[in-house]
Copies of this chain bind each other. A is one copy, B any other.
Amino acid sequence: MNKKIVIIGGVAGGATAAARLRRLSESNDIILIEKGEHVSFANCGLPYYIGGIITNRESLFVQTVEGMSKKFNLDIRNFSEALSINRDRKTVTIKEVKTGQTYEQDYDTLILSPGARPIVPPIPGINEAENLFTLRSVPDTDRIKDWVDHNHPSRAVIVGGGFIGLEMAENLAHRGISVQLVELGEQVMAPLDPEMAAMVHKELKTEGVDLILNDGVTAFKNKGREIVLQSGKELQSDVTILSIGVRPENELASEAGLSVGERGGIIVNEHLQTNDESIYAIGDAIEVKDYIQQTPTMVPLAWPANRQGRLVADHIHGKPAAYRGTLGTSVAKVFKLTVAATGNNEKLLKRLGKSYETIHVHPASNAAYYPGGSALALKLLFDPQTGEILGAQAIGYKGVEKRIDVIATAIKGQLKVWDLADLELAYAPPYSSAKDPVNMAGYVASNVASGELRIVHHDEIDEIVENGGYLIDVREPEEREIGKIEGSVPIPLGELRDRLDEIPKDKTIYINCQVGLRGYLATQILTHHGFEAANLSGGFKTYQFGKDVAKTIQYQ
């Protein structure tokens, strides 16, 4: 039986659904409604085209209207905006953008994949700002690129330190523009915890980006050339990118009486159906479940949109398709750095009041003796009782997203932290070590979970020492010269066994080294000699990054 399936939104979710629907049936009418000119374009490539890294504009069009119509026998209507859903008659009112004419299109099944749009708050002067842009579509991209190409700005201001803000910072810097980045929070990149974000802050500064944290825009002046911040600071800007987040395109849905969540996402069941079962919704516009906690959240990323597009097509064809939630696995290139994360972060777990533990390791991306490797910082979050993996964050120059992908896979396989030690990962010197960083994180987390290793965290140790805690720094004297924790007592690891009598027996001994490994060895030595000992997780390195954030909070 022939069905009429109408899809609103022709990019990540919508185009994927259309393609899969056609593969499942040759006979249905599939109508793709897109208000813009382009369908199936590479949203994620836009910043790189502006930056000149992607040079060919055509390459942004993964499919063209003509090509895709033909290949998948689709009725694609671009320049067509859906104005309303008339659920009683099962029609959508559509406006032809070029002529302004409207008509009603009937449907048997409707799929909403309208995405999310950049948030533009009513800041004084914002409408008069001529040099202010948001980035979502190809026309946005053309506008920004055109401005940069023709006005040769020398100073850019990025408002908002999320993925798109950081990508724009990098790409504008790549164009030779000096960049200031203003972020209201204490850190960029929300998926990261503060001590991890501090590494991104460092990279940004190294690359010459002027990072202004804990500050927001209160006004645009002089047609946007001057930006006034909450702190009173005034910035000069030749081009400003506003990238403070997105909000779901939910108007069509809510006006049609479809349920919408607190933060604006369209509410769907596990088959991605709205409260009207003939209307599905997918992509950036919907509220999803956090995969780990099963609590509602919004994750505007391409993988979920693509995955949901396919699942919806399957469900429409009677297949048992269900979406269990979004882990939020993400990655971004920030200049030379790669930053990736999956699952829950500490901020969230704290907010939810969950029981969790974290460990930090800093292993080499590949065999230390083979050129081109470098340390990566890997944070693992887990339930210390059950060993359940709750999330991970990784930052470094090489092999970063590989480790996050492996952990994301482990989570879906319901592996526990101790199973990470058992993952048999590919090793040769250019790629890893015989114990991969993920194995290493697994070892450390298992030791903590089993009680074999007691740890303290970067944000606890200062207070411990201030309150009279005894902290031994087992690094070599040269290392301490570069930086140390105030109040720590130096006993290099190699001397520890011979100097046990210097150490008080009546209280917990805290230990730190550079990354946590020698500290662990020292902790074990002390424990076996009858001391109560605890290791500073991630060592001085994690401590220092934690301090960096604490400083920005304090001093701004």
Contact = CB atoms under 8 A, between A and B. Distances in A.
Copies of this chain present in the complex amount to 2
B422 A408 contact: no
Contacts of A426: 329-331, 340, 342, 401, 404-405, 408
A428 B332 contact: yes
Interface in A289-335: 291, 301-307, 310, 324, 326-333
B429 A303 contact: no
5 contacts: A12-B434, A302-B434, A306-B434, A307-B424, A333-B428
A110 to B, nearest CB: 23
Nearest to A72: B521
Q: Which of A163, A340, A424, A425 has the most chain B CB atoms closer than 10 A to its own CB?
A: A424
Contacts of A456: none
Interface stretch (A93-101, A180-188, A413-421): A413-421
A426 to B, nearest CB: 4
B48 A370 contact: yes
A306 B424 contact: no
A426 B409 CA distance: 11
A303 B425 contact: yes
Which range holds the interface residue count of chain A?
35 or more
A516 to B, nearest CB: 14
B430 A333 contact: yes
Contact of A23 (B48, B340, B521): B521
Contacts of A22: 524
A64 to B, nearest CB: 12
Interface in A427-481: 427-432, 434-436, 439, 443
Nearest to A338: B431
A525 interface: yes
A60 interface: yes
Contacts of A48: 370, 429
A44 interface: yes
A71 interface: yes
Q: Which of A22, A405, A524 has the most chain B CB atoms closer than 10 A to its own CB?
A: A405
A83 interface: no
A71 B369 contact: no
A330 to B, nearest CB: 6
Nearest to A67: B494
B23 A367 contact: no
A254 to B, nearest CB: 27
Given A48-B429, A401-B426, A434-B302, A369 B42 contact: yes
Contacts of A405: 402, 405-406, 423, 425-426, 436
Contact of A305 (B25, B73, B368, B434): B434
In the A-B complex, the 9 residue pairs with the smallest Cβ-Cβ separation, listed nearest first, are A413-B413, A331-B426, A26-B528, A302-B434, A59-B369, A402-B402, A409-B409, A401-B426, A306-B434
Contacts of A328: 424
A427 B303 contact: yes
A324 B421 CA distance: 13
A404 to B, nearest CB: 5
A316 to B, nearest CB: 15
Interface string A176-220: 000000000000000000000000000000000000000000000
A342 to B, nearest CB: 7
A507 interface: no
Contacts of A413: 409-410, 412-415, 419
A425 B72 CA distance: 27
A369 B60 contact: yes
Nearest to A526: B26
Nearest to A447: B23
Given A408-B423, A408-B425, A53 B434 contact: no
A414 B419 CA distance: 12
Contacts of A163: 428
Contacts of A412: 410, 413, 415, 419, 422-424
A331 B409 contact: no
B53 A342 contact: no
Nearest to A415: B413
Interface string A1-40: 0000000000010000000001111110000000000000
A116 to B, nearest CB: 16
Interface string A331-369: 111000010101000000000000000000000000111
A70 interface: yes
A419 B413 CA distance: 9
Interface in A116-171: 163
Nearest to A47: B429
B427 A301 contact: yes
A54 interface: yes
Given A26-B528, A410-B409, A528-B26, A427 B42 contact: no
A370 B427 contact: no
A533 to B, nearest CB: 12
A53 B370 contact: yes
Contacts of A368: 59
Q: Which of A404, A409, A410, A528 has the most chain B CB atoms closer than 10 A to its own CB?
A: A409
A87 B419 CA distance: 35
A497 interface: yes
